[in-house]
Amino acid sequence: MATSPSHSSPESAIIEQVITEFFAKSLHIILESRSPYVSSRNYSVDQFMSSPSSSCSSSSSMPRDKWFNLALRDCPAALENFDIWRKSNLDPLVIDIVLIRRPLVPDVARPLGGCLLRNFSGNRDLALEPKSWKIVERWIVQYERHKSSSSKNHKEIRKCGTKNNGGSSCSSETAFYKKTYERYIILFRSLYVLIRLLPMYKLFRELNSSGQICPLSLSHRISSSIQPFTQEDEAKMNQFTFVPIDTPRGRLSLSVQYLRTLEDIRSEPSAPLSLQFILDYVGSPTTDPFRRLKSLPSARSSPPLVSFTRQHSWSNDHGALASVSHCPSVACSEARGIRCNPSLCLPPLTHHNDHSPPVISESQNAAVTHKNNMSFDEFWPSPFSPTSSPSSPAHLPGQRSPNALQSGSSQIDIAKACPNTASQTQAYSSEGKQQIKMDTLRCGNYRTGLTLVKHHRGFPSGKDDTEKLAELPSSSTQRPRSKSSSGLSLSDKFDDCGFACPFADYKDVTGSCNRRSPDAVIGAVVRMLTTAAPLRQGLSDLCRPSQVFMDESLNPCVQHDQDNTEQSECRASTSEILASVLLKSKTAAEGLEELRRYKEMKESILKRGASWSSDVDSGPKVCRQ
Amino acid sequence: MNCETCQLKELVVEPPEIREVLRSILHTILFHRALGLVRPKDVECELFDIIYVQCEDHELEKKIDEKINQFIGWVEKHPNRKSQVCISFYEVKNKHATWFGNKIERFYWEQWYINLHIVSPKPHGKSHNTKAHVVTGENAFEESNSRCAALGSSLREVLLQIINFVNEKKDHIPPLQNSEIVSFPYEISTPSSSDSSFGWHADVLKRMLQTGHPSMLS
């Protein structure tokens, strides 16, 4: 700090330095607890131990910590270049803490946080309307030089010398400086405690807390001139003055004027940000996927809509595929302290095709594309759906659906918030159901998923479809079910090539079934086979292989082209074998007996024919008569 | 050397509040007397709307907590009493050698008396006013809240009283002799369970006689 040029009798360097540091320390303590830049939340031991590299530009903070034996947090911005802009120790240091009431309209240019202090160092004035700000505290640090050099301090110096070292002037001065320095230390301890007991500190902490949205913000103004308060303002203020500390040629004083109460200023209620909304938005990969969110009402029968935002916050895997922050205003407004209406925050509806995923691995792509297909069109009316998430998980309906596992409760919750969407999703055709079932199970067509979206216009409502899915007769269909219950991802399931092939012709087979339940088909076949009497009792055992073939041939899910040809060949050969076996088993007597029976049958037929012909012949005769 | 004494304003506390009240007061006093290089730490009271400051020193914290536990143990055996906790700062000096040998003596230069009136928690359904009337559970809850707020306000006054005392009384503080955080030796006296109330006061009286008459302050 530069001393005054008009300094007629310059103080010793050490006193000058102590006074300079007194000003700096006072400013540091005050701004530390009034400026969010040096919020206690940012404080760490490391910072304290290795603070030479801190943000102080003019001097490292470590030596400043040692001054007055009080280690403080990082230097406030105002302390930077403090030594440069401060002209003289004789000028008072006036620190006004200003409470600013901001309009609730968000100001984009304003830094995040909404309550950041601005440094109005120097003589710059607040560029605000007069009614929008108020000085709530005024701290004045002042050094007053004694007019007469033969002050009482000299007596005290002598006194110190007499007490301690027998009266030599050098030692007495040292003792005096030590004692004075001790007083500075104690004064700064008191200042540090007092500043936390004043009403402003509570507000400062509240404004610093991220969960509060408040139209108020704090600022400060540093000047070297004292602008008097109006009488009205002064009447609302209290004053605390620390006992001045004498120096050899003057004295240092510190005082504060503060508003007794801030209740009238804070009367306008702040709008606390809904923590519930944050909870929903900020999920965790460790969160139990089935956990119902506390913040949103439950909707037992609501259709499973997709929890886009939550899914985003969980995973980067899919979130990176499209707009990662689909609602940037949500995050920003949280930080800025803007009241956030979820419906307003979300972007306008756009078609999902706009979000084409980048190149990803095949299995992932399959899953993701499938998700895209299933999520966007069906939720089109929902403000959550369009751009919200290509990573929307719930394309398989029902609770057993593997991807539905990931979004579980939030789907339902958001559906509750969007009743229109819910009702629309319930209106779907049975064709739609079957189409979805088919598409869901088809593993070979994921890459063409976008074209299948049209079929998914109506999305199944969950439980019903899940049950039908479970009823599929194929053993292959049961495989993903068991996997899904074990929590494997959809792409993992479809990596199984043994799973993929049987479903290649599933569409055709189901088409031939023509709305007949596969279960019914199987039931009918089984019933027929088990209840039908064998053509020949003795050959029942030999006929079983053909029954087995029939069972499998009727099973649509395991049938494919190659199998068909093999089956037909196999079936033909089996018939020949059966015929030969049948012939070999007949004896000659049985053959004669059979021949005899045929002969008898022939004779009886001929008899009947003869009698019928004689009747006919006699008829015309009568007529003629 | 004079022994400056500060009698802090009496606080009416219930047993669950003792710990927080004593912590805030003792740490505030010690923060003002720990003149070594300290790193202050903000502590937010759980029961009261108050933030106090303490030195980040585990030994100091441990010692204070031990003494508070000791005091709470005494309060459990002696409920509904007015009691004092005293924190004293002293210097250790060698007394002149006598034919009994060298003697180390403590010279107390500052004493703080924390005055507490311990009351039992009020049973629900009765107010503490002389007008005995039945109040509902809701009223009892409100009453408890307002009592706690009043105690918080009183505690704030006590902390300001400490600042005022520290601010005004500086001459009696001995010069710094070391660079430790807590620069001066100190002791925290609580009425121990073995002592009677009279015995504890006798101990204080004895100490006063040793160190001379303290100048009593408001």
Task: Count H helices and E strands in chain B, helices first.
Answer: 4, 8
Specify the pairing of strand B186-189 against strand B82-98: antiparallel
Cα separation, B214 vs B205, in Å, equals: 11
- By the 8 A CB rule, do A306 and A384 touch? yes
Judged against a pLDDT cut of 90, whether residue A550 lies above it is answered with: no
CATH number of the domain at B146, please: 3.30.900
| Token representation of residue B178 | 């070391």
- By the 8 A CB rule, do B103 and B92 touch? no
Residues of B in contact with A243 (CB under 8 A): 167-168, 170
- By the 8 A CB rule, do B172 and B47 touch? no
Which domains, from first to last, does chain A contain? 13-270 (3.30.900.10), 275-504 (no CATH), 518-535+543-577 (no CATH)
pLDDT at A434: 40
Please name the residues in contact with A245: beta carbons below 8 A apart, sequence gap of 6 or more: A180, A183, A184, A187, A251, A252, A253
Min Cα–Cα distance to chain B from A94, Å: 21
Mutate to test the interface with A, among B4, B6, B26, B53 (most CBs of A within 10 A): B53
Which residues share a beta bridge with B108?
A: B90
Residues of B in contact with A164 (CB under 8 A): 175
B177: nearest CA partner in chain A: A178
A348-380 per-position pLDDT tens digit: 333 333 333 333 333 333 333 334 333 333 333
Least confidently predicted of A34-48, A129-143, A246-260: A34-48
Residue A194, chain B, CB below 8 Å: the answer is: yes
- By the 8 A CB rule, do A391 and A368 touch? yes
pLDDT band at B161 (very low <50, low <70, confident <90, very high): very high
* Beta-carbon separation of B32 and A189 below 8 A: yes
DSSP letter at A461 equals -
A437-465 per-position pLDDT tens digit: 344 333 333 333 333 333 333 333 344 44
Q: How many CA atoms lie within 13 A of A153 on its CB side?
A: 21
- Residue entry with tokens 């088409």: A511
Residues of B in contact with A179 (CB under 8 A): 175
Residue A201, chain B, CB below 8 Å: the answer is: yes
Which residues share a beta bridge with B189?
A: B86
Count of Cβ atoms closer than 10 Å to residue B176 Cβ: 17
Measure Cα distances from A564 to A522, A551, A556, A569 in Å.
Answer: 18, 13, 11, 9
pLDDT band at A151 (very low <50, low <70, confident <90, very high): low
Cα separation, A377 vs B2, in Å, equals: 87
Q: What is the mean pLDDT of residues B29-48?
A: 92
Choose among A550, A560, A543: nearest CA to A524.
A550
pLDDT at B157: 95
Residue type, A186: I
Length of chain A: 625
pLDDT at B179: 78
pLDDT at A66: 81
Measure Cα distances from B90 to A319, A424, B6 in Å.
Answer: 66, 82, 15
Residue A516, chain B, CB below 8 Å: the answer is: no
Residues of B in contact with A48 (CB under 8 A): 39
A561-590 per-position pLDDT tens digit: 444 444 444 454 545 554 554 555 567 788
B135-148 per-position pLDDT tens digit: 566 777 787 888 88
Length of chain B: 218
Measure Cα distances from A439 to A366, A408, A472, A556, A597 in Å.
Answer: 12, 21, 14, 16, 61
Residues of B in contact with A202 (CB under 8 A): 49, 51
Run of H or E including A73: none
* Beta-carbon separation of B28 and A243 below 8 A: no
SS3 content of chain B, % helix, strand, coil (to 5): 40, 30, 35
- By the 8 A CB rule, do B189 and B88 touch? yes
Q: At what angle do helices A199-208 and A169-197 cross, to 10 degrees?
A: 60
Residue A182, chain B, CB below 8 Å: the answer is: yes
Cα separation, A580 vs A198, in Å, equals: 110
Residues of A in contact with B175 (CB under 8 A): 164, 175, 178-179, 182
Q: What is the mean pLDDT of residues A517-526?
A: 72
Residues of A in contact with B160 (CB under 8 A): 194, 197
Run of H or E including B187: strand B186-189
Judged against a pLDDT cut of 90, whether residue A116 lies above it is answered with: no
Which residues share a beta bridge with B103?
A: B95
Residues of chain B in Cβ contact (below 8 Å) with chain A: 28, 31-32, 35-40, 42, 49-53, 156, 159-160, 162-163, 166-168, 170, 173, 175-176
Higher pLDDT, B129 or A325: B129
The number of domains in chain B is 1
Measure Cα distances from A347 to A283, A323, A329, A394 in Å.
Answer: 20, 11, 9, 21
Per the structure, the complete domain to which residue B155 belongs is given by 4-217
Question: Going along A210-278, which residue ranges are E strands?
Answer: 212-213, 216-223, 237-241, 245-246, 250-259, 271-272
